[in-house]
Amino acid sequence: MKLRLLKEFIIEKLIFLSGIASILFVILIFTFLLKEGISFFKEIGLKDFIGGKYWYPISEPERFGILPLILGSLLVTLGAIIIAVPLSIACAFYISEVVQGKAKDILKSGIEMLAAIPSVVLGFIGIVTLVPWMKKVLNLPTGLTALSGSIMLGLMAMPTIISISEDAINAVPKAYKEGALALGATRWQAMYRVVIYAALPGIIAASMLGIGRVIGETMAVMMLSGNAAVIPSTLLEPVRTLTATIAAEMGEAVHGGLHYYSLFAIGIILFVITFMINVIADIFLHRNKK
């Protein structure tokens, strides 16, 4: 009896500890980021950092404007949204409304499995297939463009968006659809006017979670989008994102120098962006549950 109580006690404390640890880690990471980044903001100032047009961290005099990087990230992400969201919604509808039986299960678990492919592998596949193809077909000087990055990120966001949207569509009461059909709606009208309408909050949340997942994605984008830190004007030019900048320059930056701290400052900006996206997605998901 005593032994059992002891076991209970130990297990309980272990679970408690692991819960606390994960919260602690997040807090530690953020304080570390803040500590390293703050000194940089003191030196350069938030306005010049975010609004500056030039990113020349190692020239003389050095310039730390991350506007091109922010725009690069935005452009690639926006492209990814435009590619991934409509496709994913169509795909979710196909899975929940069109295919039936075994094919449905296979598709569903297949798509969830796609989410597990490491991004380096995807980036590599992109480099050997997508990039040369883009260069040839669009007749560009290089296939390493914002568009290549967008396509890859879009593909990476799709499994999340599809599987959560599909859940949202499935959760729409069957009665809504039958109600519409009984009024003489075609299958398409019932889907379009009623099912999407009822599943919309879930679909929006799914899209935001999918995008939130890939906005911090580094490897594939760094490999595919060309890494030129200039303000882009079209999707067909090389761009550089916030994440790729950190990954590419952390190794070279002099430890303790201004460049080194600027990368932490970029980290803070990224952290804030992803945090906001997740919060907004959460609000939509919870509204859906009510």
State the residues that interact with another protein by CB under 8 A. 100-101, 173, 175-176, 178-186, 189, 193-194, 197-198
Please give the structure tokens belonging to residue 193.
């006017």
Pick between residue 176 and residue 260 the one whose CB is nearest to another protein. Answer: 176
Pick between residue 36 and residue 97 the one whose CB is nearest to another protein. Answer: 97
Pick between residue 152 and residue 195 the one whose CB is nearest to another protein. Answer: 195
Report the nearest approach of another protein to the CB of residue 186 (Å). Answer: 6
For 240, list phi and psi in degrees, rounded to 5.
-130, 140
Calpha distance 133→52 (Å, rounded): 35
204 three-state secondary structure:
helix
Angle at 81 between CA 78 and CA 83, to 5 degrees: 110
Cβ pair 90, 259 in contact under 8 A: no
Q: Is the dihedral of CA 210, 213, 216, 220 positive or negative?
A: negative
Name beta bridge partners: 239: 226
Q: Which one, of 112, 214, 116, lies nearest residue 166 by Cα?
A: 112
Report the nearest approach of another protein to the CB of residue 184 (Å). Answer: 4
Calpha distance 19→289 (Å, rounded): 25
Report the nearest approach of another protein to the CB of residue 180 (Å). Answer: 7
Report the nearest approach of another protein to the CB of residue 283 (Å). Answer: 19
User: Any residues with CB less than 8 A from the CB of 208 and at least 6 apart, and which?
Assistant: 277, 278, 280, 281, 284
Pick between residue 19 and residue 179 the one whose CB is nearest to another protein. Answer: 179
Pick between residue 61 and residue 184 the one whose CB is nearest to another protein. Answer: 184
Report the nearest approach of another protein to the CB of residue 187 (Å). Answer: 9
Report the nearest approach of another protein to the CB of residue 165 (Å). Answer: 17
Pick between residue 99 and residue 236 the one whose CB is nearest to another protein. Answer: 99
